[in-house]
Structure 1
Amino acid sequence: MSNNWYNFLSPLGAIFNDDKEVSFNASEQSTISSLQGDLYLTDLSYLGLIEVSGDDKKTYLQGQLTNDINAISSTLSHLSGLCTPKGRLRALFTIFAQGNKLYLQLPYPLLEETLKRLKMFVMMSKVELTNVSDSLIKIGVFGQQAINQLKASNLSIPGEPNMVTETDGIQLIRLAGETPRFECIGCVEKITALWQALQPKAQLINTSHWRIMDIEAGIPNVFASSKEAFIPQMLNLQILNGINFKKGCYTGQEVVARMQYLGKLKRKMYRAHCDAEQNVLPGDLLYSEKSKSGQGAGHIVDAQLSPKGGLDLLAVITSDAVDNNDIFLDEAMQLPLTIVDLPYSLEIEES
């Protein structure tokens, strides 16, 4: 993390854990009962950035990732996964462009090993991969007044989720959700000035609150504890435009295509709630009365304590467990999960 950015946030009560997740120690942070206020602001240092440059960058990434890299432009970002040869996700990226460079955004704890893995296959290609997490600062802005306040800072607003704008060195990525939500990216000087303009009108929120908004929007991620736990379709990437089935070969493509055209997807990502307040990690097992196998009912994608009580979560769950209302957080099967509607349909053409 940039020392200048850390030194700027520290007097505001920002405390970072080893994964660069932030919490603000102001007393009101523990009493947030809703994420439907007028304006919220947070730091996104928990997301790392890999810069990809060089003449062969798109050709190289096209052979590594699940989505069509040629579709990315200065005005469009999208999800894309890095798979093992067996089609399991090593990492899931938000990819966006800036000038003649591409940026891969992923949880910071996965950055170094992912960067090392990607560099293994550069070989003779004209490609450079660099960790730029400290030089490009990322903040999140959310709330009914987000658009008005960003406009007041003379920033151009992207109109739809995944769309991107750039104004005077600051990029805005619009994120999915019923309430306007944006990621703002720029150098430390630009983002510091933007933060100072927004903060008097905003409530500071923790990383956990920001991740709840991803859960509500049905947007998955792959974390260090869930690495290689899922194939792309289990995380609904075929619905979220995170896979292109016509782009040609990439690592794991045969498995992903076989599932799409020849297989039956028995596990999908659902949104759920549990009336329990206990720590769970991405990748943790879920349980079922009727499934005594080691695979259980499914696995956690992400779970956060809800401001309204209990746990909000995304989980990959078997269709049978969902149909039978037979999903539990604990092995004793005392903590049932309740399925909550996603903001998109899972009923799409599988072929």
Structure 2
Amino acid sequence: MLEDRTDHTNAFSEPNALALSKKIFASTGLSLIEVIGQDAAKLLQGQLTCNINDLMASQASIAGFCNAKGRVISTLLVVKSPASFYLILPADLLDTVLKKLRMYVLRADATLQDQTGNMRILGISGFAPEIDAPTGNFAVGQIPLTTIKLPGAPRYLTLGTPDQIDEFAGLLSSRYEFEYGCLDEWRYQDISTALPWFDINQSEQHIPQMLGIDQLGGISFSKGCYTGQEIVARSHYLGKVKRALFIAECQPSASGVVNGCKVLDGISQQSMGCVLANSVWSGINRALVVLQIVDGLPKNLILDDDYRTPIAII
């Protein structure tokens, strides 16, 4: 559970914990980039908010990849393998991240490869897939495949080739009773644990602290320079972060909630922020919203949609 940012927020608190049934998710909405070469660590150290040099085979990290103004192009889950680094990120942002990261390679001995077609990312929820499964946030195990523990209730990402994943799923089916889940449910679980994945519409809109990346241990304030570092550090040390991430719910509307939709004060109609990501599951629309925190949150929040849909922080 992450600490409150102000007296007005209960974001990420225990009532949001999921009671998960045993499920496997063949689709997680995520893609994978592999960074190979002697300068792979140096390249990533100069671009991502986390400290690449602190990563171990047993510990991954969430990170932000920022532009020069400190706005997050994409959030990433960075995993160190014996010969390379894996970058796990929303599939919607794969091409954008590849294009922008390759601009910084120059003469470095580093190659970025889209491995989405060669590697599969399996989602597991509601149970630990083996007795020695990793337990800490973003801890990594080999059980027998690379498996990353996600924050909150038992949830994991497992990486492998299609054949390895099929074999692993067969192994799980021989040991556990589980169901197969869908992409909407997996995204709902991500949102319920405040994992700040987002799509292209919200790229380059927020600094890392507004997305809770610091709360998840994904920002190093001592590692030195990286693209956008000056803005990120200044916001941290001068206390100028004016927005924060919250988990919210609203009734699903006929037209659906659009990521990027404004969130308004229901009384003054003043813009308070926007929807970062949302997913509907079991008749509930759960969303991550980035909201102003300077003067506290109003009690009556609505979406700036045709229905003026009420939305509540949970």
- Quote how far apart the aligned CAs of 1:190 are: 1.2
TM-score using structure 1 length? 0.79
- Quote how far apart the aligned CAs of 1:106 are: 0.7
Paired letter, 2:185: H
- Quote how far apart the aligned CAs of 1:240 are: 0.9
Alignment partner of 1:101 out of 70, 84, 87: 84
Contact 1:297 1:321 in 2 (8 A): no
Question: Where does residue 196 of structure 1 map in the other structure?
Answer: 170
Within 5 Å, give how 1:107-126 maps onto structure 2: 107-126=90-109
- Quote how far apart the aligned CAs of 1:320 are: 5.7
Question: Where does residue 284 of structure 1 map in the other structure?
Answer: 261
- Quote how far apart the aligned CAs of 1:66 are: 0.8
Q: Which has the higher helix share?
A: 1
Residue 66 and residue 267 in structure 1: after superposition, are their counterparts in 2 closer, same or farther (change >3 A)? same
Contact 1:225 1:281 in 2 (8 A): no
3-state DSSP class of the match of 2:301? coil
Distance 2:239 2:139 in 1: 33
3-state DSSP class of the match of 1:323? coil
Alignment partner of 1:218 out of 175, 190, 194: 194
- Quote how far apart the aligned CAs of 1:266 are: 1.7
Paired letter, 1:109: D
Contact 2:27 2:182 in 1 (8 A): no
1:301 aligns with 2:276: yes
Contact 2:146 2:159 in 1 (8 A): yes
1:139 aligns with 2:122: yes
Question: Where does residue 234 of structure 2 map in the other structure?
Answer: 258
Residue 199 and residue 37 in structure 1: after superposition, are their counterparts in 2 closer, same or farther (change >3 A)? farther
3-state DSSP class of the match of 2:189? helix
Question: Where does residue 330 of structure 1 map in the other structure?
Answer: 304
3-state DSSP class of the match of 2:303? coil
Paired letter, 2:190: D
- Quote how far apart the aligned CAs of 1:289 are: 3.9
Alignment partner of 1:56 out of 26, 39, 45: 39
3-state DSSP class of the match of 2:136? coil
Paired letter, 1:330: D
Residue 78 and residue 292 in structure 1: after superposition, are their counterparts in 2 closer, same or farther (change >3 A)? same
Deviation per residue, 1:24-47 (Å, 9 max, x gap): xxxxxxxxxxx7354101113521
3-state DSSP class of the match of 2:259? coil
- Quote how far apart the aligned CAs of 1:159 are: 2.0
Distance 1:327 1:45 in 2: 30
Distance 2:165 2:172 in 1: 10
- Quote how far apart the aligned CAs of 1:189 are: 1.2
Within 5 Å, give how 1:1-351 maps onto structure 2: 36-44=19-27, 46-143=29-126, 146-147=127-128, 150-151=129-130, 156-168=132-144, 170-178=145-153, 180-199=154-173, 201-278=177-254, 279-289=256-266, 296-307=271-282, 309-319=283-293, 323-331=297-305, 334-340=308-314
Distance 1:333 1:339 in 2: 18
Paired letter, 2:65: L
Give identity over the alignment, percent: 31
- Quote how far apart the aligned CAs of 1:290 are: 5.7
Residue 164 and residue 233 in structure 1: after superposition, are their counterparts in 2 closer, same or farther (change >3 A)? same
TM-score using structure 2 length? 0.87
Contact 2:28 2:123 in 1 (8 A): no
Q: How many residues align?
A: 295
Distance 2:215 2:116 in 1: 29
Residue 129 and residue 246 in structure 1: after superposition, are their counterparts in 2 closer, same or farther (change >3 A)? same
3-state DSSP class of the match of 1:328? strand
Moved more, 102-111 or 275-284: 275-284
Moved more, 200-209 or 49-58: 200-209
3-state DSSP class of the match of 2:230? helix
Paired letter, 1:215: I
**What stretches of structure 1 of length at least 5 have no aligned partner?**
1-34, 341-351
Paired letter, 1:196: G
Q: CA-atom RMSD, angstroms?
A: 2.1
Moved more, 77-86 or 284-293: 284-293
Residue 284 and residue 330 in structure 1: after superposition, are their counterparts in 2 closer, same or farther (change >3 A)? closer
3-state DSSP class of the match of 1:51? strand
Residue 74 and residue 82 in structure 1: after superposition, are their counterparts in 2 closer, same or farther (change >3 A)? same
Higher relative contact order (CA 8 A, sep 6+): 2
Paired letter, 1:283: G
- Quote how far apart the aligned CAs of 1:322 are: 5.3
Distance 2:276 2:22 in 1: 27
Distance 2:252 2:120 in 1: 35
Distance 1:311 1:277 in 2: 9
Distance 2:30 2:58 in 1: 21
- Quote how far apart the aligned CAs of 1:272 are: 0.9
Deviation per residue, 1:140-177 (Å, 9 max, x gap): 1111xx22xx22xxx74112121001144x11111112
Deviation per residue, 1:70-119 (Å, 9 max, x gap): 11110001111111111111111000011121011111121112111111
